């Protein structure tokens, strides 16, 4: 399966989830993206994944990602990259071992793909 095929399938599954599909960027998130730019948002996503998801063991796993306050947090819930349990269920990356850089880059790419789609749908571009 190619990356495009995987992403198409993944995003179709996410859109069919009542919970995952309930997340959308609000105007304040769009304004924040406009202020910071997509490159900075990607850096934030990479930092959040590295600090909150990449460790092998996370003491507050399942509660480490807020439900609001940053576009990346919203995207993490929408893309099931919010905790190791969701990452395992939706992305098949097993918990209990540190995420490799390739796995971290993949999760950031999924997050940014969702953010860019939401941003494009907002009419800001």
Q: What pLDDT digit, counting tens, does each position of 73-85 carry?
A: 999 999 999 999 9
Higher pLDDT, 22 or 122: 22
Judge whether residue 43 has pLDDT over 70: yes
pLDDT computed for residue 125 by the predictor: 57
Judge whether residue 47 has pLDDT over 70: yes
33-39: average pLDDT: 97
pLDDT computed for residue 124 by the predictor: 61
Q: What are phi and psi of 51, to 5 degrees?
A: -90, -35
Give the dihedral sign, CA 99/87/62/38: positive
pLDDT band of 56, cuts 50, 70, 90:
very high
The residue assigned the tokens 């893309």 is: 79
pTM above 0.85, yes or no: yes
């Amino acid at each position: 399966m190619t990356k495009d095929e995987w992403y198409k399938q993944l995003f179709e599954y996410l859109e069919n989830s009542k919970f995952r599909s309930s997340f959308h960027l609000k105007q304040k998130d769009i304004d924040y993206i406009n202020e910071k730019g997509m490159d900075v948002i990607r850096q934030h996503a990479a930092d959040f994944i590295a600090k909150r998801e990449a460790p092998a063991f996370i003491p507050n796993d399942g509660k480490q990602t807020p439900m609001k306050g940053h576009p990346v947090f919203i995207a993490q819930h929408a893309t099931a990259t919010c905790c190791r349990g969701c990452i395992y269920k939706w992305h098949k990356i097993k918990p209990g071992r540190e995420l490799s850089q390739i796995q971290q880059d993949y999760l950031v790419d999924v997050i940014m793909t969702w953010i860019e789609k939401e941003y494009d749908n907002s009419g800001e571009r």
